[in-house]
Each structure stands twice: as structure tokens, then as C-alpha cells.
Homo-oligomer: A and B are copies of this chain.
Amino acid sequence: MKLTDILLGRRLANRENTQQKIGWFAGVPAMGLDGLGSSSYGPEAALTILIPLGALSLAWIGWVIGPIVALLAILYLSYRQTILAYPSNGGAYTVAKDNLGAGASLLAAAALMIDYVLNVAVGISAGVGALTSSVPALHPWTLELCLGILAVVALANLRGTREAGWLFALPTYLFLASFLGLIGWGLVKLAMGHADPVIAPPPLHHAVEGAGLWLLLRAFAAGCTAMTGVEAVSNGVGAFREPVVREAHRTLTVICLALGLLLAGIAAVAHGYGLGAMDQTQAGYQSVLSQLAGAIVGHGPVYYVAMGSLLTVLCLSANTSFVGFPRICRLVALDDYLPRAFAVADRRLVFSAGVLFLTVTGGALLVMFGGITDRLIPLFAVGAFLTFTMSQLGMVVHWRRKGRAHWHRLALNALGAVTTMIALAIILAAKFTEGAWIVVIAVPLTILFLVAVKRHYAGVARRLAVHEPFVVEETEPPTVLVAYEQRNRMTDRALRFAMTLSPDVLAVHLLRLGGPDEEADVAAVKERFERDIAAPLAAAGLTPPRLITVPAPYREIQGPILDLVEKIDADTPGRSVAILIPELVLRHWWQRLLHGRHGRKLRAALLAHAGPRLMVITSPWRA
């Protein structure tokens, strides 16, 4: 357990829970890495769609990024309201459950869970992809790097959200400072008329086609990937310290404001310096943010600090999933739609079942795709926007129920619902054949699984439910059978225990358990039992246990004992039967390999097959 303490920290008591809560400063790195990191690939993805426009794309970039920033603003304002209305947890699942019913809440939960799982694989592999394209020597280690980062993020989160937040604070704020600074400096230079880039981006070619509506919509859909991760704060409200709403609002504000400034700033600087996306498959490829930094400050130390912090933020963007996923799973599990283990706080007060599930599935996806999950990116925004829509719709119903005084809030969430729904439709249409269809299949399958789990729990609960008053039918002590191979300290103790429970004790000795070549001298066994145990007890005036010998023709203990129990049940109706199995408790796991499993097999068989009036008693003896 020493190693666990070092890796995970000491265990925490329930009352230490409040000390594990975070404020906005740790909240931004804990929940915002996904959202902030996506500022690098959102505009890039949009500009990549615009490549056919060549130089003409500069004229249209504002028309693509503008609506995205507007949508972000709407989402920001409506999620502020959600946090205020649901200060314990404002995730899409809760909001939909409260206002739209169980079906809608399962839809939101499934979409969000799939989104979080994908984000782990996509986030890490995108980060490592960016890393290996700047340091090509690392390329052969792609998968190892991915799994290593996954392990670091998982371990940090097993220690707690608070520790993960503090651990990842430095790269996050460094990234914000450097890129906001860079963009600001670029805008100042442009405003002052210095439009000559330090390092000139490759010139944009002439347009090979005109700007059509469908192209712009596709660019918009691609750019919307910048917005995934915005729901994380509402879903992680439970992680914040008091005053919860204020800390959550500040966190959301920092994330959305920074993201909005980055998006708008990137668009403005790209426009000013004439930056466009480059074909990733071509040699000499540079990302838009790399061109942007180069154009503003050249390849000096600032460039490397900025790009380094960007890479770190990208690599760690999976952290958002690790904060959100366990919390959504906990809520779903509390409603019996997921195994109850997801709702249990572990030694660090973390819902570690969710963390571990995310680690395993994320790791499996990374291994399956060899650390290159580009093909999963199209799947990504669908879940997020489906979640947005469900959450906004739920809030609309929420405000309607609250009455007329809240009409302006209702209007805001309605605007959010409509815009995200439109965005979702565009994304689905634009990306359906690229892989978004997988989400369309995966979401219903996930819902089916959730419902199946609920059905199992409901069935068990129904069978367990008791409506009659408590009655006692029998008061006589049970017949106690003691598994008895030969006399030793362990069986002596077992017999003594049995005699405290009931005057009716039977020692059961099985013959030829080891196989046909085993000697079985029944007379000697009986004689020794009589001499060593029965006679001294009788002399002391006590009822001694009786010995029965039973053949074990198939060398297993279960069959003969079950038959015997059935016979006793028939002979003494209304009385229970208890079977006492002496168990050798070993100090080390490997010692188990040296000792038989007869006892454990017998116990399992009795629990699985014996009648309703049976108990299995283990009397431990430490070797």
C-alpha cells in the first residue's frame, strides 16, 4: 500500500471533501484545456476548408469566424444561466432530466459520454501529432508518447481534480499569456501600418473556385470544433469551492473570453498578414498558429515558448474529459443507468471508476489506431453540439416553468438552443460521410446499454422488495456441517465454533477426493475421531459432534455435500443448515498456488445451488 500512497497520495476522509474543492484559478486549467487548445485547430480546420479559395479566403474568414464567436458568446451567456440555476450540477444530463424527461436525459448523457471518450484519444493524439511534426525524431515513439501522456493525466486525476488543476496551471497560463500577447502585438503592429511579416507566410494562390454557401457552411462546421469543451464547467460545478456559482462563473468567463479573443484575434491577424491554411500532406507544412507567430515575432525565443506551451496545452486537453466524464457517470449511476461503482468516491474522494474507464477506453482507442486518430475528429463535434442543444432546450423548459419574470433568460436559452441546433444540423450534414454517422449509431447503442443496466437493477430491487412485516418462522438452531479432512488446529477450532452455534453438529469427511489411488481407511478415520474428539467431549458431559463419511466418486466436494444438505433439509423441515468450512488464510497470494481450492469451490457451489435455508460459515485459521 506504500506505493499507492506515493502515487495517489494518502487516503482522504469524507470530511476533507471541502478541502479538495477548487477555485477559478485551478478551474481554468482543470476544465478549460480542451476549449483553449481547440483554438488552435478550430480556425485551422475552417481555413483548411477554405484552401480552394486561395487568396480569396482572406475576404471570407471573418464571415466564418464571426458566427463562431457569436455562437460562443451565446453559449457563454446561456451556460452562465445554467450554472446559476443548477449550482450543484448543471450538466446536460441533469438539466435534460429535470425538464425534458428520462429519454432526453439519456440522449444527452450518451452524447456527452461518447464526446468525452473521443476527446481523450483525439486530444492526446492531436497534441502528440503536433509535437512529432515539430520534433520529427520523436515520430517513431508516437504511441508510447500518447500512452505516457494518458498515464500522467490519469494519475493526476486519480489524485484529484485539484491536483490536476494545479499541475497543469503553468502551461495553461503560459499559453494564454504568450498567444494573447502575440496577437495583441500583431494587431498593434498592423494598426500602426507595419504590415510586413517578420517571416513571410507562403503566398496564397489564386482562387480555383468561388465562395459558395455550402463551402462556407462546411468551414463553419469545421471551425465549430473550437467550441467543444465549453460545457465542461457546467458539468463540473461540483468541483468548485464556495461560493460555487462565483467560482464557476469566473472559470467560464476566463475560458470563453480567452477562447473568443483567440478566435477573433487569429482571424484578424490572418487577414492582416495574409495567412492561410497549408496542405498537411505537403512537405514544409506549417500550422496557422506557427505561421502567425512567425509572422509577428519571427523564430526567436518568444516563438518557441509560445509553440511549446501550445503543444503542452494540446497534449493535456484530455484533462477536460477526466474532470467531466467521472462526474457525468456518477450522476447517471446514481439513477441506476450505470454500474454503481461509478457513483462511489474512492480513497482520494475521486470517482475513480470513471477515471479508470476513461483511461482504458482512451488507451484502447489510441492503441487500436496506433496513436493517429485523425479519423475520429469528425465524430467529435457532433456529440458536443448534441449536448449543447439538449442542455439549452432543457433550460428553456426550466425558465418557462419558473414563470413570466424569467422571459429574458428564456429568450437567451431559446436563442442558444436554436443556434446550436442549426450548427448541429450543419455539422451533421457536412461531416456525415466523414464519420459522423458513427456517432449516429453509437448514441442509440449507448442508450440501449444504459437502459439495460437500469432494467437489471430494477429487477433485482423488485425481487428484493419486502412489504410484509418481519416474521420469524424458526427459532431452533440449525444443523451445522463441518468439513473435516483430518484433525488439526484448524478443524478443532471449526468444531468448537460449530458447537457454540448448535447442539447438532456433523463432521463430514469425504473419501477419495484425491483420486482412485488415494487410500481411504474409513475405520481408522472413525476410530481416531471417536478417540480424540467424541470420547473426551462425552466424558465432559457435552454432546459430541457426529462423524459421517461420504464417498466423493468424482473427486469434487460439491456434489456429495449438496446431496447431503438436501437430505438433511428433507429430514428436518423448517430448520436451516449451516456449513462451516475451515479456511487456511495465507499471508501471500502465491501461497494460494500451494493449497487446494476445495474450500472456495465448495463455498461457491453452495452459494449458487443450495436451497433457501442455507448458510455458509468460514472459520479462518491463519497459517
Interface membership of A216, Cβ < 8 A: no
Interface membership of A3, Cβ < 8 A: no
A477 neighbours in B (Cβ, 8 Å)? 500-501
Cα distance A253–B623 in the bound complex, in angstroms: 50
B460 touches A472 (CB 8 A): no
A488 touches B515 (CB 8 A): no
Pick out which of these stretches binds chain B: A117-125, A306-314, A373-381, A533-541. A533-541
Query: What are some 23 contacts across the A-B interface (CB < 8 A)?
Result: A11-B554, A12-B554, A13-B553, A14-B515, A15-B553, A339-B595, A345-B517, A349-B516, A453-B594, A460-B584, A460-B623, A463-B489, A464-B490, A469-B532, A469-B536, A470-B492, A470-B536, A472-B499, A474-B500, A475-B499, A493-B612, A500-B576, A607-B618
Q: How near does chain B come to A582, taking the closest CB pair, in angstroms?
A: 10
A617 touches B616 (CB 8 A): yes
Q: How near does chain B come to A396, taking the closest CB pair, in angstroms?
A: 28
Q: Name 9 extra pairs, CB < 8 A, besides A615-B617, A617-B617.
A: A12-B554, A13-B554, A15-B553, A345-B515, A464-B490, A478-B500, A606-B620, A607-B618, A615-B618
Within 8 A of B (CB), among A44-86: none
* B490, B540, B612, B622: the one within 8 Å of A472 (CB): B540
Cα distance A463–B621 in the bound complex, in angstroms: 10
A465 touches B478 (CB 8 A): no
> Chain A 523-537 against B: per-residue CB contact (8 Å), 1 yes, 0 no?
000000000110011
Closest residue of chain B to A513 (Cβ to Cβ) is B344
Within 8 A of B (CB), among A139-168: none
Q: How near does chain B come to A239, taking the closest CB pair, in angstroms?
A: 12
- Given A472-B542, A500-B474, A540-B472, does the pair A595, B464 have CB atoms closer than 8 Å? no
A238 neighbours in B (Cβ, 8 Å)? 517
- Given A13-B553, A516-B17, A594-B453, does the pair A615, B489 have CB atoms closer than 8 Å? no
* B346, B487, B512, B516: the one within 8 Å of A466 (CB): B487
Cα distance A14–B517 in the bound complex, in angstroms: 9
Closest residue of chain B to A532 (Cβ to Cβ) is B470
* B489, B499, B532: the one within 8 Å of A465 (CB): B489
> Chain A 582-618 against B: per-residue CB contact (8 Å), 1 yes, 0 no?
0111000001011110000001001110101011111
Interface membership of A241, Cβ < 8 A: no
Cα distance A298–B537 in the bound complex, in angstroms: 86
A617 neighbours in B (Cβ, 8 Å)? 578, 615-618
A347 neighbours in B (Cβ, 8 Å)? 554-556
A555 touches B623 (CB 8 A): no
Cα distance A160–B357 in the bound complex, in angstroms: 43
Interface membership of A521, Cβ < 8 A: no
Cα distance A340–B346 in the bound complex, in angstroms: 39
Interface membership of A619, Cβ < 8 A: yes
B594 touches A14 (CB 8 A): no
Q: How near does chain B come to A161, taking the closest CB pair, in angstroms?
A: 14
> Chain A 422-454 against B: per-residue CB contact (8 Å), 1 yes, 0 no?
000000000000000000000000000000010
Cα distance A473–B340 in the bound complex, in angstroms: 44
Closest residue of chain B to A473 (Cβ to Cβ) is B496
Interface membership of A457, Cβ < 8 A: yes
- Given A478-B500, A595-B340, does the pair A472, B537 have CB atoms closer than 8 Å? yes
Q: How near does chain B come to A65, taking the closest CB pair, in angstroms?
A: 41
> Chain A 12-45 against B: per-residue CB contact (8 Å), 1 yes, 0 no?
1111010000000000000000000000000000
> Chain A 454-488 against B: per-residue CB contact (8 Å), 1 yes, 0 no?
00110110011110011111111110000000011
A470 touches B533 (CB 8 A): yes
Closest residue of chain B to A11 (Cβ to Cβ) is B554
Cα distance A277–B11 in the bound complex, in angstroms: 71
A603 neighbours in B (Cβ, 8 Å)? 618
> Chain A 486-510 against B: per-residue CB contact (8 Å), 1 yes, 0 no?
0111101101110111100000000
A616 neighbours in B (Cβ, 8 Å)? 617-618, 620
A466 touches B488 (CB 8 A): yes
Interface membership of A302, Cβ < 8 A: no
Cα distance A459–B349 in the bound complex, in angstroms: 42
Cα distance A459–B622 in the bound complex, in angstroms: 12
A11 neighbours in B (Cβ, 8 Å)? 554
Closest residue of chain B to A469 (Cβ to Cβ) is B536
- Given A340-B596, A593-B339, A618-B603, does the pair A576, B464 have CB atoms closer than 8 Å? no
Cα distance A555–B351 in the bound complex, in angstroms: 12
Interface membership of A561, Cβ < 8 A: no
B514 touches A623 (CB 8 A): no
B594 touches A456 (CB 8 A): yes
Interface membership of A183, Cβ < 8 A: no
B472 touches A489 (CB 8 A): no
- Given A499-B472, A500-B474, does the pair A344, B555 have CB atoms closer than 8 Å? yes
Cα distance A614–B622 in the bound complex, in angstroms: 12
A580 neighbours in B (Cβ, 8 Å)? 615
Interface membership of A261, Cβ < 8 A: no
Interface membership of A315, Cβ < 8 A: no
- Given A15-B553, A500-B477, does the pair A615, B607 have CB atoms closer than 8 Å? no
Interface membership of A343, Cβ < 8 A: yes
Closest residue of chain B to A618 (Cβ to Cβ) is B616
Interface membership of A341, Cβ < 8 A: yes
A621 neighbours in B (Cβ, 8 Å)? 464
